[in-house]
Amino acid sequence: MARKRITPGKIRLAEVAKLAGVSPITASRFFRNPEALSAGKRARVDSAAKELGYVPNLAARALASQRTEVIGVLIPSLTNNVFSDVLRGIYDALDGSRYSIQLANTRYSILQEERLLRLFLAQKPAGLIITGINQTADSRRIMETVDCPIVQIMEVGPSPIDMMIGFSHFDASKAAIAHLLAQGYRRIGFLGARMDPRVQRRLDGYRSAMTDAGLFDPQLIVTTAVPTSVTLGGTLFADLLAKAPDIDAVFCVNDDLALGALFECKRRHMAVPEQMAIVGFNDLEFMASSEPTLSSVRTNRYEMGRNAAVMVIETLEGRRPAEPVVDLGFSVMERQSSARRN
């Protein structure tokens, strides 16, 4: 059930200054030019602002109810094709409307996300689209007090800040493993990179599916905090083979790793799927064009972005969606790389 959002308060800069033990002028200077203050004063004002949930209004001369016609979008990567599809959906939904987009890259850092969130909200956006459900406690508290529509995207969870659209990474991962098990594979490895919260949930789904089948073995898991790439996929797969040479399948947390695993199989003259099955995640375009074609979990990224933007616009126009949480689901795209074993 969605949590009820807190009614926006009227925290004034003077209250922040009082709690921090500084003058209102000093507190104001912190939000305009923090480097002009000593480290001690910066820390006190920052702490007071967080405790009170104060967000500076850069348009203080405007009426309190006035907002920009900008929708803020916070995503963790500008180069990942997954988010390119999401952004395409957002831009298409806003095309022809009076709203524009302010885009920011959090680089998978929840602290950077919090900093950018404060910056965005200080500019009084019309709405906000933010990636994932793992915000800091301060970020959640701030978003629960603002009066603009907010949509969390890329996954669904039990405690939406306002609205949410995505799918279960845990369930999607379990479905991928269920597919491999149904095809006759048993020693199924796991390759993971970057290990952000969504990838962690895919690992949890893998672990659950393998445990339920009585086949879980920690030796079959290879992960790294390093950002993902095709080259890394080959390296991780080689590491997995060194640890568990008897594996007969591998589940990769994204398609880059899956393609890298396929290339490593070709270098080793391992037949796919006869000697090694491969399943990726996200189902990017190249998965259906590789040789052999690669199985993957399809996620509805374009629809996610487009629908998120529509949810914001409809709320702004007084037509708030009847269902604030939308699960778009997923599909396991079965291709040559995970065909049934003979």
Query: Which residue bears the tokens 């037509």?
Result: 319
pTM metric for this prediction: 0.81
Type and span of the H or E element at 151: strand 150-153
Give the C-alpha separation, 218 to 128, whole Å: 40
**What would the pLDDT profile of 269-292 be if each residue is shown by its tens digit?**
999 999 999 999 999 999 999 999
Sign of torsion over alpha carbons 188, 192, 195, 196: negative
Residues 251/191, Cβ–Cβ less than 8 Å: yes
Residues 332/176, Cβ–Cβ less than 8 Å: yes
Secondary structure of residue 286 in the 3-state scheme: helix
Query: Which residue bears the tokens 């831009």?
Result: 91
- How many CA within 13 A on the CB side of residue 320? 11
**Residue 191 to residues 9, 95, 187, 214, 219, Cα–Cα distance (Å):** 46, 38, 13, 20, 11
Type and span of the H or E element at 249: strand 249-252
Type and span of the H or E element at 316: helix 301-316
pLDDT of residue 63: 45
**What would the pLDDT profile of 163-217 be if each residue is shown by its tens digit?**
999 999 999 999 999 999 999 999 999 999 999 999 999 999 999 999 999 999 9
Type and span of the H or E element at 127: strand 127-131
pLDDT of residue 24: 82
Residues 308/156, Cβ–Cβ less than 8 Å: no
Q: Which of 250, 248, 201 shows the shortest CA–CA distance to 222?
A: 250
The residue ranges of the chain whose pLDDT is under 70 are: 1-10, 32-33, 35, 57-66, 341-342
Written as six digits, the tokens of 37 are: 């203050």
DSSP 289: T
pLDDT of residue 32: 67
CA angle, 238 as apex, 236 and 241 as ends, to 5°? Answer: 110
Give the C-alpha separation, 255 to 208, whole Å: 21
Sign of torsion over alpha carbons 52, 57, 61, 67: negative
